[in-house]
Structure 1
Amino acid sequence: MVLYINCCIRRGSRTERLAQAVLKKMGEYNEVFLPAEDIKPLNEKKLCKRTELLNAGELENSMFDRAHQFANADKIVIAAPFWDGSFPSLLKVYIENIYAVGIVSHYSSDGTPVGMCSADELVYVTTAGGKYIPDFSYDYIKALAQGCFGIKNTRLVVAEMLDIAGMDSEKILRDAMENA
């Protein structure tokens, strides 16, 4: 099963259009549309509850449904526009909520994270109005995927320079969609 994590705030966004081209080649998928999810940053009460459940081995609690969905996916596609040098904060909040030790990773005896996710590939899809800089978006997701979740294969699909005067943004996007 392909898990599509859609962090495109505007339906029909350029990033979503590019992601749809990627998904079309992958077949059926389950979508998590983050703007419509009731997902919030962890606060003290929720963090304590999560820690209590994890320590008790109660991994089937509904609090971990998103973590299980992520851990059990065969492939993961994340669509997140490049905003202000990174991705929308909703994606970080989602990651914070799915990162449950014992479900998506565990720790080795020396404290190193060991991934437990089933996915053999994570595809990160983004668009940028100017030059795309992956440091605080794709590179961050890639580091988590490979270093913590156990997803060794990651791929970046990007269309950039879409808001630069004189550039044909529709052609750039179409070319990226064809090459996705």
Structure 2
Amino acid sequence: MGRITRMVLYVKCCPRSDSRTDKLATALLETLGDYYEVLDITQENLLPLDRDTLIMREAFIEQSNYSYPIFDYAKQFAFADTIVIAAPYWDLSFPAALKSYIENIYVTGLVSKYNENGAPTGLCKAKKLYYVTTSGGPYNPKFSYEYIKTISTEYFGIDETELIYVDMLDIDGFDANKILEDKIKEIKERK
């Protein structure tokens, strides 16, 4: 009997072609050893939700009609077995493209629902989400990872999250290449 593979969704929010964050995420994906699908949200035309889009989306949700392309990202996220999000720590948070992505995937009926008490209940299949980031200076997870962790566990129903990061990569006196190489080695030793 063949090995059953899990689908890992790699949500890549790394605008730079030589992204250090992407290098860390790629090392992680290699250790997971499963099939993974790359969604490079910096190359998608993801826009923040506006009034007209919200009205249209709500009408489809009320009909439980999720067949329109506007729901494709949410379905992809909801059905992934494992999720890896990679985004650099920029200007005290993550790039705006990731926030637009979150707005587009948070669809009631696909990634979550509300119970009889009005509390959110997650519907996502994934049991684990990895958040991978790098920072040029000191990293404070409050403004990026903690947000991702909270929405993942409390709204998406993903039981476990893990932060993988390196920081101080742009500070004089710190060897950025060594810091990055050491972390990649640590990740690869997980196998």
- Paired letter, 1:23: L
Offset of 1:60 from its aligned partner?
2.3
Paired residue for 2:17, among 2, 7, 11?
A: 11
- The partner residue of 2:111 within 92, 104, 110 is 104
| Alpha-carbon distance in 1 for matches of 2:163, 2:185 | 14
| 2:30 counterpart (12, 24, 33) | 24
Counting aligned pairs with the same residue, the percent is 48
Pairing partner for 2:121 from 109, 114, 119:
114
CA RMSD of aligned residues (A): 0.7
Asked if 1:54 corresponds to 2:61, the answer is yes
SS at match of 2:141: coil
d(CA) in 2 for partners of 1:110, 1:178 = 47
Q: Deviations over 1:49-102 (max 9, x none)?
A: 000000011022221111000000000000000001100000000000000000
Instruction: Identify unmatched segments of 5+ residues in structure 2.
Output: 1-6
1:18-67 CA distances to partner (integer Å, 9 max, x unpaired)?
11111111132101101110111111110000000000110222211110
Which residue of structure 2 aligns with residue 87 of structure 1?
A: 94
1:133 corresponding residue in structure 2: 140
Q: Which runs of 5+ in 1 are unaligned?
A: none
- SS of 1:81's partner is coil
SS in 1 for 2:39: strand
> In structure 2, which of residues 155, 167, 173 is the aligned counterpart of residue 160 of structure 1?
167
Compute the TM-score of the two structures, normalised by the length of structure 1: 0.98
* Alpha-carbon distance between aligned partners in 1 of 2:177 and 2:162, rounded to the nearest angstrom: 22
Moved over 3 A (4+): none
Distance in 1 between residues matched to 2:93 and 2:118, nearest whole Å:
28
SS in structure 2 opposite 1:2? strand
What TM-score results when the alignment is normalised by the length of structure 2? 0.92
For 1:66 and 1:45, locate their aligned partners in 2 and report how far apart those are by CA, in whole Å: 19
Question: Per the alignment, in what secondary structure is the counterpart of residue 133 of structure 2?
Answer: strand
